[in-house]
Amino acid sequence: MSAKATTPSDLEIARAVTLRPIEEIAASAGIPADALELYGRYKAKIDVERLPPADQLGRVVLVSAISPTPAGEGKSTLTVGLADSLARAGRRTMVALREPSLGPILGLKGGATGGGRSQVLPMEDINLHFTGDFHAITSANNALCALIDNHVFHGNELGIDPRRVTFRRVMDMNDRALREIVVGLGGPTQGVPRQDGFDITVASEVMAVFCLAKDATDLADRLARITIGYTYSRKPVTVADLGAEGVMAMLLKDAIKPNLVQTIAGTPALIHGGPFANIAHGCNSVIATTTARRLAEIVVTEAGFGADLGAEKFVDIKARSADVAPSVVVLVTTVRALKMHGGVPKDCLAEPDADALARGMPNLARHVATVRRFGLEPVVAVNRFSSDSTEELDTVLAWCSRAGVRAAVADVWGRGGGGDGGDELAREVLAALEAPGQCRQLYPLALPVDEKIRTIVRDVYGGADVEFSDLARRQLAQIEENGWGGLPVCMAKTQYSFTDDATQLGAPEGFTVHVRELWPRTGAGFIVAVTGALMTMPGLPAHPAALRMRLDDDGRPVGLF
Amino acid sequence: MSAKATTPSDLEIARAVTLRPIEEIAASAGIPADALELYGRYKAKIDVERLPPADQLGRVVLVSAISPTPAGEGKSTLTVGLADSLARAGRRTMVALREPSLGPILGLKGGATGGGRSQVLPMEDINLHFTGDFHAITSANNALCALIDNHVFHGNELGIDPRRVTFRRVMDMNDRALREIVVGLGGPTQGVPRQDGFDITVASEVMAVFCLAKDATDLADRLARITIGYTYSRKPVTVADLGAEGVMAMLLKDAIKPNLVQTIAGTPALIHGGPFANIAHGCNSVIATTTARRLAEIVVTEAGFGADLGAEKFVDIKARSADVAPSVVVLVTTVRALKMHGGVPKDCLAEPDADALARGMPNLARHVATVRRFGLEPVVAVNRFSSDSTEELDTVLAWCSRAGVRAAVADVWGRGGGGDGGDELAREVLAALEAPGQCRQLYPLALPVDEKIRTIVRDVYGGADVEFSDLARRQLAQIEENGWGGLPVCMAKTQYSFTDDATQLGAPEGFTVHVRELWPRTGAGFIVAVTGALMTMPGLPAHPAALRMRLDDDGRPVGLF
């Protein structure tokens, strides 16, 4: 993150680490050998059924953030580093994180397993195929699509309207050309032509279902409830109507087992599932979080984007349907992001600017208020960059002190949580855990869908109102008609602003959020409220990271970072 | 295969077997523990670099067949059973087979890991995702496609003509709707529209490359040579021109390691790679075959379709570029198929018909002649079905005796090679191995492409001549121009007939084969000669096997067979 030019790359740091055999990591986490399914020497799947009964469930520390800069505030790195610091403080700790998506890795990111001295390993494997979970999810998704088009082709007994098939094919790739396509061309023996498109695998509803399922039975039940489209008479068609939930669950039988790896410091980590943070809820699987709670005293996990999106969805979607409520929320904050919210252009964030920093604080303040609204106490983690001055860091800490918010500076990238980079933060988190909050949802499910959205916009974003497009208004009525009004809402909004306009930084007030469309996700169990432009299939840049990747003469990957 | 209604299903037989830990199987095969990468308890990848040097290389027994019935003659089952029988006879034996493709399993097949008492296990895993090799091949293929369209989108420096991109996306699925599609729709920010289509993964040139590569370096070199299309000025564009071979090889770094499993009888089996037998060469990876040769005294492996296609490609393509020449070729023959070649309709093959059987023998005779033309001695394996009468079986054996061909009846499906179902066949194979042939290719590479095709049609199929379409004639000229004339030929022809017309059974003579198109596969290193209709993306039937698949209450797959 900081001073990358003069320090070793993430891959170089990762390579210098001597990994412990995964059996040792498992034993240290209390996982019996017969619950382990090895994938090479340093990865294993856990057969949750074979775990011993837990006396007590671990506490969940949720790592969230302020509204981020485009480069991100280092949430994954901090999640790993904090867990290492808590382990160093003698607490039985486990990390729960999302699996990286191959598409963005080949595009710009190069890797997504933390950074510097705070990484999960083996990063070369986790970033490439890992244990095949995303491939299994892709297969299950696309088997359903093949079965849908095949049903229409062979007589279409259910009367599916090919123009109203809403369930799309997926690929774990950034492939712009597949966003909008026409399938089924070539004449009557080749299929029924219709408009279609591919999403990236992390945007699949199967991924969301996979990550919200409590166990294999719940997984099959949720798969069965997925709406794939509508009949000519506008009635919803589900996976159960096609009878495809069985084969989909079968294709996911191994993927659904959480994956065990280790951090650089040897802390056990479960990396499992990875839904998009915009059209889905953006955190690792419920199964990984609940498994970690059975094994560890403290579970450090992450939610995508800022607290307005990630923490809100964690509380209102994930923790509503599963026993994973956080006890403490860590808000990752950087001096750079605060200066950006104070008006500094993205290219100048390394330069000191006390006034801009002060002007940016209201963004943090609003996220702090959000966390408290959930009944939880925030801990601000100032993620240190080498360009930060001591004065700037002190300004943030002083603000937190005045606001009565626990805070600490951490340098888990440079010094590692296994080193002393997160000791202070760990102390603050442990102190907060002494008096944990009582997590509560923001709204009751009985509230109408539009009112749920208004509640989020007013109480979390600080906005004034919500405007629904004509289409969204019609969809609200259909949602009530179809009996889906009792589902929670999943906001698809830019992470850069509290508003639906990515350029409105800081903490704007009095704004209106525009809901363009509503997408029922009846398997996952939420209604996606789409605001602004939305990309469910990213593209590759002009110079993709992929073109720098290769194997060296020893067969080791080069170009991941 | 025989009497399935009254006997347990393949899945039931497989479930009743107590598998040995894969470490034990590896140890029995002489694979050191540090060369094993476990994938669960019963699968492992082998790090070939860590194998001990081999004193002597094992002999290759190639299992091929006569022209098959649509139900197949049980080649995989016989390959497994013969290996078990050879092991039972005290010979250090290893199986090398193709990995099954998910698409056909979800369509009609339900599974592809042998059958009855002659299966490779764990069949539930091998048939579903296995160790992820096909997913990695799919990713490498589709990463290349994304990079191609991205190159065209971002300025198209190489001048690729979007109408002349020949490299297609793939998916391991039977998905008719993806055969012919239009991609890149949605306006200038979404891509450059063009006609495109998906093939099934086993039809990918990446799969063919993967299976012909001798090692990781050869893999990257072959990937670099793949032709992806042509420029506006009709010059070929390769993967190397795009610089994509590095990332593709990286995505295949684990997949390229062969997979170790076991047969029901505990014989070690390498299951690795699985190219189509029509537009590719249809056998497991060179790496699996050569690895098995290093470890075992006898390697039993299979080639797709009948000997006219599978054995011919094994000799002229695979054994030309790698050290895998067979010592003996087993021709799997069934009474049913011979009766079909003698004119009995498919529905009546269970009824005795001595005349039809006699009329069908010339089909076997021509395959016997083909094997001898390669310098090898055939062993006819009469794969017994419960409907076969002793008289019928004796008729076939008597014919073989008259023709001076070793032959034996085998019942490896019902009695297993681990039982006594293959003892006689094993004796014949061992006797043949005492005086193994000297494998020779059918044609020299220096022969022009059209003459190579004529040689195959005359000397293997028994045809009179070859007719090239106008397009194929133009392509012949382009192939010479582009310097590809020295590549061997890969015939894409129906497996049901020696001719290019699937209805011409038996052993027709004097026919003309029509070559419709020629597809240069410069990475794999062959020219595909397309005759007749060709399906590179299968469809699902009206009642797909997938809709019978699910997990039972214990989380075990149901509906695989």
DSSP annotation string for A512-559: EEEEEEEEEETTTTEEEEEES---SS----SS-GGGG-EE-TTS-EES
Rounded to the nearest angstrom, the minimum Cα separation between A332 and chain B is 33
Does the pLDDT value for residue A532 go beyond 90? no
Cβ separation A146–B173 shorter than 8 A: yes
d(C-alpha B300, C-alpha B79), whole Å: 6
Residue B304 lies in a domain: yes
- Which residues of A are less than 8 Å from B253 in CB distance? 128, 551, 555, 557
Active site residue B75: yes
Same domain, residue pair A232 and A304: no
Q: Which domain holds residue A186?
A: 133-251
Residue A169 lies in a domain: yes
Does the pLDDT value for residue A1 go beyond 60? no
Active site residue A521: no
Residue, of B11 and B539, whose pLDDT is higher:
B539
Does the pLDDT value for residue A134 go beyond 80? yes
Does the pLDDT value for residue A4 go beyond 60? no
Tell me how many domains chain B contains: 3
For residue B86, what is the domain's CATH number?
Answer: 3.40.50.300
Confidence of residue B6 (pLDDT cuts 50, 70, 90): low
Look over chain B and give the mean of its residue pLDDT values, rounded to a whole number. 96
Residue A550 lies in a domain: no
For residue A195, what is the domain's CATH number?
Answer: 3.30.1510.10
Rounded to the nearest angstrom, the minimum Cα separation between A546 and chain B is 6
Same domain, residue pair B25 and B119: yes
**Whether the model pTM is above 0.90:** yes
Active site residue B277: yes
Does the pLDDT value for residue B110 go beyond 80? no
For residue A76, say whether it is annotated as part of any ligand binding site.
yes
What integer is the mean pLDDT of A310-323?
Answer: 97
In this prediction, residue A142 carries a pLDDT of 98
Let me know: does A100 contact A126? Beta carbons within 8 Å.
yes
Active site residue B269: no
Structure tokens at B439: 């494998």
In this prediction, residue A83 carries a pLDDT of 98
- Which residues of A are less than 8 Å from B540 in CB distance? 146-147, 150
In this prediction, residue B541 carries a pLDDT of 97
Q: Residue holding tokens 């969301």? A: A208
For residue B52, say whether it is annotated as part of any ligand binding site.
no
Active site residue A413: yes
Residue A548 lies in a domain: no
For residue B2, say whether it is annotated as part of any ligand binding site.
no
Test the B interface: residue of A50, A150, A182 with most B CBs within 10 Å? A150
B251 → closest Cβ in A128, A216, A251: A128
Closest chain A residue by Cα to residue B251: A128
Rounded to the nearest angstrom, the minimum Cα separation between B261 and chain A is 15
What integer is the mean pLDDT of A212-225?
Answer: 97
Helix (H, G, I), strand (E, B) or coil at B192: coil
In this prediction, residue B268 carries a pLDDT of 98
Considering B251, B279, B301, which residue would you say is the last residue of a domain? B251
Confidence of residue A71 (pLDDT cuts 50, 70, 90): confident
What integer is the mean pLDDT of A49-63?
Answer: 96
Greatest C-alpha distance within chain A: 72
Q: How far, in Å, are A43, A293, A481, A546, B44 from residue B132 at the CA level? A: 15, 30, 43, 20, 12
Neighbours of A289 (CB within 10 A): 29
What integer is the mean pLDDT of B313-327?
Answer: 97
Helix (H, G, I), strand (E, B) or coil at A173: coil
Residue A3 lies in a domain: no
A37 → closest Cβ in B41, B106, B549: B41
Same domain, residue pair B477 and B350: no
Q: Residue holding tokens 């969940």? A: A60
In this prediction, residue A108 carries a pLDDT of 87
Percent of chain A predicted with pLDDT > 70: 99
Same domain, residue pair A429 and A467: no
Same domain, residue pair A190 and A208: yes
Does the pLDDT value for residue B361 go beyond 90? yes
For A137-188, the pLDDT digits (tens) are: 999 999 999 999 999 999 999 999 999 999 999 999 999 999 999 999 999 9
- Amino acid, single-letter form, for residue B266: G
DSSP annotation string for A335-380: HHHHHHHTT--GGGTTS--HHHHHHHHHHHHHHHHHHHHTT-EEEE
For A229-257, the pLDDT digits (tens) are: 999 999 999 999 999 999 999 999 999 99
For A502-528, the pLDDT digits (tens) are: 999 999 999 999 999 999 999 999 999
Same domain, residue pair B116 and B164: no
**Angle, helix A205-212 to helix A133-153, in steps of 10 degrees:** 130
- Amino acid, single-letter form, for residue A81: G
Residue A61 lies in a domain: yes
Let me know: does A484 contact A527? Beta carbons within 8 Å.
yes
In this prediction, residue A6 carries a pLDDT of 60
For B37-75, the pLDDT digits (tens) are: 999 999 999 999 999 999 999 999 999 999 999 988 899
- Which residues of B are less than 8 Å from A181 in CB distance? 181-185
Active site residue B166: no
d(C-alpha A371, C-alpha B365), whole Å: 81
Beta strands in A437-522 (DSSP E): 465-468, 489-492, 512-521
Does the pLDDT value for residue A551 go beyond 90? yes
In this prediction, residue A3 carries a pLDDT of 41
For B228-242, the pLDDT digits (tens) are: 999 999 999 999 999
Residue A97 lies in a domain: yes
For residue A510, what is the domain's CATH number?
Answer: 3.10.410.10
For A451-487, the pLDDT digits (tens) are: 999 999 999 999 999 999 999 999 999 999 999 999 9
Same domain, residue pair A176 and A232: yes
Percent of chain B predicted with pLDDT > 70: 99
Confidence of residue B3 (pLDDT cuts 50, 70, 90): very low
Helix (H, G, I), strand (E, B) or coil at B15: helix
Same domain, residue pair A429 and A289: yes
A249 → closest Cβ in B38, B542, B550: B550
For residue B73, say whether it is annotated as part of any ligand binding site.
yes
For residue A71, say whether it is annotated as part of any ligand binding site.
yes
Test the A interface: residue of B181, B201, B553 with most A CBs within 10 Å? B181
Percent of chain A predicted with pLDDT > 90: 94
Same domain, residue pair B456 and B519: yes
Same domain, residue pair B286 and B334: yes
Look over chain A and give the mean of its residue pLDDT values, rounded to a whole number. 96
Test the B interface: residue of A128, A247, A549 with most B CBs within 10 Å? A247
> To which H or E segment does residue B367 belong?
helix B354-373
Q: At residue B88, what are phi and psi to the nearest 5 degrees? A: -60, -30
What integer is the mean pLDDT of B179-186?
Answer: 98
Confidence of residue A2 (pLDDT cuts 50, 70, 90): very low
Closest chain A residue by Cα to residue B47: A40
B129 → closest Cβ in A40, A191, A254: A254
A249 → closest Cβ in B173, B190, B551: B551
What integer is the mean pLDDT of B79-89?
Answer: 98
d(C-alpha A410, C-alpha A335), whole Å: 12
Among B418, B397, B419, smallest CA distance to B409 is for B397
In this prediction, residue B168 carries a pLDDT of 98
Closest chain A residue by Cα to residue B173: A143
For residue A245, say whether it is annotated as part of any ligand binding site.
no
Does the pLDDT value for residue B527 go beyond 90? yes
d(C-alpha A198, C-alpha A93), whole Å: 39
Helix (H, G, I), strand (E, B) or coil at B268: strand
For B151-175, the pLDDT digits (tens) are: 999 999 999 999 999 999 999 999 9
Residue A554 lies in a domain: no
Q: Residue holding tokens 């405007």? A: A467
For residue A4, give every residue at least 6 positions away whose Cβ sits within 8 Å of its Cβ, in sequence order, or none. Answer: none
Same domain, residue pair A270 and A404: yes
For A413-428, the pLDDT digits (tens) are: 999 999 999 999 999 9
- Which residues of A are less than 8 Å from B544 in CB distance? 147, 150
Among B418, B328, B419, smallest CA distance to B376 is for B328
Let me know: does A137 contact A276? Beta carbons within 8 Å.
no
Same domain, residue pair A240 and A349: no
What integer is the mean pLDDT of B87-97?
Answer: 98
d(C-alpha A92, C-alpha B413), whole Å: 53
Q: In what order do the strands lie in the sheet with B489-492?
A: B465-468, B512-521, B526-531, B489-492
d(C-alpha A132, C-alpha A251), whole Å: 11
Neighbours of A511 (CB within 10 A): 18
Test the B interface: residue of A36, A39, A149, A152 with most B CBs within 10 Å? A39
Considering A214, A231, A251, which residue would you say is the last residue of a domain? A251
Cβ separation B175–A142 shorter than 8 A: yes
Catalytic residue among A305, A399, A468, A561: A305
B393-400, Cβ contacts within 8 angstroms, sequence gap of 24 or more? B393/B335, B395/B354, B395/B357, B395/B358, B396/B333, B396/B335, B396/B338, B396/B357, B396/B361, B396/B364, B399/B361, B399/B364
β-pairing, B36-38 with B44-46? antiparallel
Catalytic residue among A130, A314, A413, A498: A413
Considering B384, B409, B433, which residue would you say is the last residue of a domain? B433
Does the pLDDT value for residue B1 go beyond 90? no
- Amino acid, single-letter form, for residue A535: M
- Which residues of A are less than 8 Å from B192 in CB distance? 177
Catalytic residue among A35, A277, A288, A296: A277
